[in-house]
Amino acid sequence: MAESERKPDYEIEADVAAATTSQAGPFGRLRNYFLTGLIVAGPLAVTIWLVWSFITWVDNVVRPLIPPLYRPETYLPWPIPGTGLVVAIFALTLLGFLTANLVGRTLVGWGESLLSRMPIVRPIYKTMKQIFETLFSKEGSSFRKVALVEFPAPGMWSLVFLSQAPGGDVAAKLPHGEHVSVFMPCTPNPTTGFFFYVKRSELIELDITVENAMSLLISAGMVQPGDDEQKRLAALAASARAAQALRKPQAVD
């Protein structure tokens, strides 16, 4: 089926519910309806909550920096959510515009030279700058491939994300062979994990996206790559069975 002809997930769940509840009892139908509604509303509710939490956090950080004269709640009986986020986006865009010219680059260079003289701040700023440049630059090579590595014991395999190849003294001191930097996130919290170097020959690269791998890790294996396609095929089969049952002539007493 073409991509444009694929049904949305909520229609797929409705088709499955219609096909599976046709032969169930009243309580079974109510249970299936409840589970279908939960599957439809649950991800939407979590997504809205996460987006709202992020907007609220940005508003709480930026709002104290705005003079009361320019705050919308000064003239309205209630605050407008997202005002701080809009101000933050505008400020960052303006900062990027100013940094692109000669004066901005001079000021940034002066500030970086000042931070490089601070013993404790220097390594923190340098590391954070490299991370942000890798993540948001167009030429960045951050986590574009997924692979399997035999860890933590022989016969046990874990998902890892491939990063850049080691360089400098690290590459010179590693054993002979091509190595690659990998990050193995933990489940269900992928923000923590293990970082190590491994030979490329000991990796099994996978033909899945980083997004699918993250879903697999966060769900602890409950959401497998390709589940969406299998769900669509199952929905189509269920719809076909339901339509066939409706077309079947009823027995006459």
pLDDT (tens digit, 9 = 90+) per residue, 54-70?
999 998 988 888 888 88
Instruction: Provide the token pair at 241.
Output: 């069975």
Q: How does pLDDT run across 123-182, given as a tens digit for each residue?
A: 888 777 776 766 665 555 556 788 998 888 888 888 888 887 787 788 888 888 788 888
How many CA atoms, within 13 angstroms, populate the side-chain half-sphere of residue 211?
Answer: 1
Q: Where are the domains of the chain?
A: 1-100, 101-140, 145-224
Q: How many CA atoms lie within 13 A of 158 on its CB side?
A: 18
A 10 A CB-CB count for 175 gives: 7
**pLDDT over 60 at 28, yes or no:** yes
- Distance (Å, rounded) from C-alpha 179 to C-alpha 196? 10
Cα 33 versus chain centre, distance: 29
> pTM higher than 0.85 for the full model?
no
Q: What are the angstrom distances between the C-alpha of 39 and each of 7, 16, 26, 105, 170?
A: 16, 12, 20, 50, 48
Give the pLDDT band of residue 4 (cuts 50, 70, 90): very low
